[in-house]
Structure 1
Amino acid sequence: MSLNQYTTRVRRKPQVILFSILKWALFIIVPTAITFFIVCRVDTHMRIYFRQWLSPPAPAVIEPLIHDGTCFKHLSSDYQQGQGLHHYNFIPGHRLQDDTCFGFASTVRPSPQIPSHDTIFHTRFDKNHFGPTELATVKSFLATQNSTTTRLVVWADSTQESLLASPYWQHIESNPRIAVQVVATAKEKQQQQQQLELMPLLALAQYGGVWFEPSAFFVRELTPLLELDWIAQGDCFSSVEGNPFSQTGMLHFRQDSPYLCEMLAEAKALQKDQKKVELPMLYYRIYQRVLRNGFKPWAIVPWCYTAPSQCKHSNSLQSPFARGEEVNRRWLDSVFAYYWRDPAPDEPSGDIYEYLEAKYDL
């Protein structure tokens, strides 16, 4: 045997050993991984950050209240540092990222000893379409909210005439608790767009009450939530970080709310400078500003009260239009409303929808 042949065999031996190790590793790892994913469900909500030495946190900026704090200078007698007096406690003292959110929500119930106040609910249907899903939304309001103290105002502009001509609208147009408010939109397209951007704030500044996005079903009476000004949390993950008002589906403010005053003043200042107003960012900015200037900010309604599907799969409800999973009716009956984000079908159906349909005759 030559020296070259011996050297080649010696070199090949480590390669053979390495190949055997990799082969057996694959035989072990692949079946183990397959078994793991068959047996277990993984919820991942990973975030990636730069190290602080690469991206140090910016110092907090204390913005002054707009117009030298005019909105907070003449508060009505039942406000204290901006926050209204109240009887109900619907905000827990810890973050709710598990099923305790539904448990706490179930304890918040109307009390016959506390009188209800007249409240106007507001919404605006974005399309020239009012079909069975939109009808179910309105009927869920009529079925669940106090019939003597609440009414609904549907905001529309001159381009939505076909909405009011819908045969589904005719089912409810004669109901005395429903009114249509036609918006006198500006002639210029830019000013018209600015009006529509601020529609929730403008409607609440004119009448006060609750603004809700039309992609929502009401599940039970909101009376215990109507003493304080609040914006509903968009999902459970913002309990830890991020903007809690991102993709919110519901907010409540009194007509004379100092927070509403501050937000509208800031929004109009942004529009004057030709800057786009993004309402979730505006809400969060004013919330921080109010807090850093020594006033109590408005309340944040926990995610499951109005958006019960926006958390981990293991501790949230499915889409109202989904089928196949067992509905946790105890959780569903504890929430106040169900705001969804997935597209609604033309003909609504699904386990949760049909449960609510049977319960409230939607």
Structure 2
Amino acid sequence: MATRDSHDYKKSRLPLWNNPPPSPPPSNASSHARSAPLSPLLTTPRFTFARRRSILPFCKYFLPLLLLCLASPLLFWEPHIETSFYSRHWVKEEIQEIQPLAGCFDPHRISPAYNLTHSLHSTKQQVHAGLPLRMGMDCYNFAGTVKPVYDYPASRVPPDQRTQYHTYWRNDLAGFEERQEWLLKSFFATQNVHTSRLILWSNGDLSEVEIIGKWLRRYPDAFTTKTVDFEVLAKGTSLSGSDLLHIKDKKAWVDGDLLRLLVLWAYGGVWVDMDSLFTRDLAPLLDQEFVTQWDCYDKLYVPFNGALMHFYRHSPYLCEAFHIMTTSPPPRPGTTDWGATLYLKLWRRLVSSSITPFSILPWCFTDGRSCRLDNRLPDPFATDPQNGQWTLGWGREEGGGLDRALGRVFSVHLHNQWHKPYPKGGWVERLLLKRYDERLKRRT
């Protein structure tokens, strides 16, 4: 039985013996290493080579084609991209939320020095186009619809009763030199020196500076200098006695923006930044209170500019602006918190209360440098090109398109580029500076 069983067992196992017997377990580490799978480091070159072979056609054909597709539009189109980033918290707190007015337009609070009826109902010129004026020469052509005003007084107007023009120069930042003198020359050459007066404000006495002294002697009724005293200027406002009166920065932005409003409150009249050149008499604009449009792009949070502005003495618009300044966070140094942002807050509060807001001059009236390449004023600090063209076939020669545009707008704002000289023979020298000198010579 046992023999048969053994025989039967061996017979039943014979077909399985055709397979090789299983390998015995490794007896040492070396035999284990030989039987282990290959390391990824040993297989990487094979896969890297395959990957390179698959990427090669993409780099050789598709990538250049992609770059060509992206670059080809530049042959036909000229991209203009402006990107700004604003804190959502700042937008919510400072822009979107509309606070109530302080009540400066209440009849019993309006100063006797302010003629409300005249201010709201005497407008003769239309400065609101109702369109962005971005296309071609639309803005410059619209400026030409504002006709000159020829109003010469029958008798001498005392200096304090004239239209007061204000500007500011901080003598601790830089000296007053020939470059700064061009604003003075542009004023005397374009404005009515019989009905207006320019006040040069500073944080020090500038009357002893020779460049300034000669104009003081030549136009004693049309030009004077004053030293800034913020405490005195702020009397009668919500800023009186406030620590905010002593805020300043290294760019003179914050204190300059503050001074704009304070001198217009105390004296009324026109504010003009020192880095500007008058091109035309402002008289036809002075029947309304206004700020200016920053540029042609309609920036959402900074649409306004104060480089040129006009308000009457003790204007309730300014009263409301002071209220906003005292109830908002202090201005950040080197920002327009007391400039463009403040004007936007004020405008939105006015219309929210159904009060007619101040006027807004279109961008090219004072800031023709701030638009697209095809219709902005040429770079004042670049040499004129050989072909002498400006844009859309408008030449730069005397009597050409650029010359006509300058005769329609009211000033050119140069944005603080004091370190850049005007190029010899450039359009600023030919169409503006030389003409100032010629007009002033004829008036001697």
**TM-score normalised by the chain length of structure 2:** 0.66
When residues 47 and 182 of structure 1 are mapped into structure 2, their CA distance, relative to the original with a 3 A threshold, is closer
Structure 2 residue ranges without an equivalent (≥5): 1-44, 155-160, 233-240, 249-254, 332-336, 391-401, 439-444
Contact 1:82–1:296 (CA under 8 A) maintained in structure 2 = no
> Which whole-Å deviations, capped at 9, do the CAs of 1:286-320 have from their partners, x for residues lacking one?
11111101101101111111111011222201232
When residues 189 and 133 of structure 1 are mapped into structure 2, their CA distance, relative to the original with a 3 A threshold, is farther
Taking the aligned partners of 1:113 and 1:81, their CA distance within structure 2 comes to: 18
The aligned residue for residue 258 of structure 1 is 316
Pick one of 91, 115, 122 that aligns with 2:128: 91
Letter in 2 for 1:360: Y
Give the CA deviation at 1:356: 0.4
Taking the aligned partners of 1:25 and 1:253, their CA distance within structure 2 comes to: 62
Structure 1 residue 198 corresponds to structure 2 residue 244: no
When residues 80 and 96 of structure 1 are mapped into structure 2, their CA distance, relative to the original with a 3 A threshold, is farther
Taking the aligned partners of 1:112 and 1:310, their CA distance within structure 2 comes to: 30
Give the CA deviation at 1:39: 6.3
Taking the aligned partners of 1:248 and 1:70, their CA distance within structure 2 comes to: 21
The aligned residue for residue 120 of structure 1 is 164
Contact 2:98–2:345 (CA under 8 A) maintained in structure 1 = no
Pick one of 63, 86, 93 that aligns with 2:99: 63
Pick one of 111, 135, 151 that aligns with 2:181: 135
Larger radius of gyration: 2
Contact 2:294–2:303 (CA under 8 A) maintained in structure 1 = yes
The aligned residue for residue 352 of structure 1 is 427
Worse overlay, 315-324 or 295-304: 315-324
Letter in 2 for 1:339: H
Letter in 2 for 1:73: P
> Which whole-Å deviations, capped at 9, do the CAs of 1:58-115 have from their partners, x for residues lacking one?
995442211xx14332457964697342111122121222331111012212244899
Taking the aligned partners of 2:68 and 2:189, their CA distance within structure 1 comes to: 53
The aligned residue for residue 4 of structure 2 is none
Contact 1:235–1:311 (CA under 8 A) maintained in structure 2 = yes
SS in 2 for 1:300: strand
The aligned residue for residue 210 of structure 2 is 167
Give me the identity figure in percent. Answer: 26
The aligned residue for residue 103 of structure 1 is 141
Taking the aligned partners of 1:31 and 1:191, their CA distance within structure 2 comes to: 56
Letter in 2 for 1:20: P
Taking the aligned partners of 1:242 and 1:115, their CA distance within structure 2 comes to: 42
The aligned residue for residue 361 of structure 1 is 437
Give the CA deviation at 1:214: 0.4
Letter in 2 for 1:43: H
Give the CA deviation at 1:36: 5.3
Give the CA deviation at 1:147: 2.0
Give the CA deviation at 1:205: 1.1
Give the CA deviation at 1:201: 1.2
Letter in 1 for 2:177: G
> Which whole-Å deviations, capped at 9, do the CAs of 1:35-76 have from their partners, x for residues lacking one?
6546653222356899x9xxx98995442211xx14332457
Taking the aligned partners of 2:119 and 2:242, their CA distance within structure 1 comes to: 36
Taking the aligned partners of 2:357 and 2:186, their CA distance within structure 1 comes to: 30
Contact 1:216–1:337 (CA under 8 A) maintained in structure 2 = yes
Give the CA deviation at 1:240: 5.5
SS in 2 for 1:137: helix
Taking the aligned partners of 1:257 and 1:84, their CA distance within structure 2 comes to: 15
Pick one of 408, 418, 424 that aligns with 1:334: 408
SS in 1 for 2:210: coil
Taking the aligned partners of 1:234 and 1:252, their CA distance within structure 2 comes to: 15
Structure 1 residue 73 corresponds to structure 2 residue 107: yes
Count of equivalent residues: 341
What is the CA RMSD across the aligned residues, in angstroms? 3.9
When residues 135 and 201 of structure 1 are mapped into structure 2, their CA distance, relative to the original with a 3 A threshold, is same
> Which whole-Å deviations, capped at 9, do the CAs of 1:160-207 have from their partners, x for residues lacking one?
34x444332233121221011222366999565249452111111111
Q: Within 5 Å, give how 1:1-362 maps onto structure 2.
A: 16=53, 19-30=56-67, 37=74, 40-46=77-83, 61-66=97-102, 69-74=103-108, 79=116, 83-98=120-135, 99-112=137-150, 118-128=162-172, 129-157=175-203, 160-161=204-205, 163-174=206-217, 175-176=219-220, 177-184=222-229, 193-194=246-247, 196=255, 198-237=258-297, 239=298, 241-245=300-304, 247-267=305-325, 269-270=326-327, 275-276=330-331, 278-325=338-385, 326-327=389-390, 328-345=402-419, 347-349=421-423, 351-354=426-429, 355-361=431-437
When residues 60 and 14 of structure 1 are mapped into structure 2, their CA distance, relative to the original with a 3 A threshold, is closer
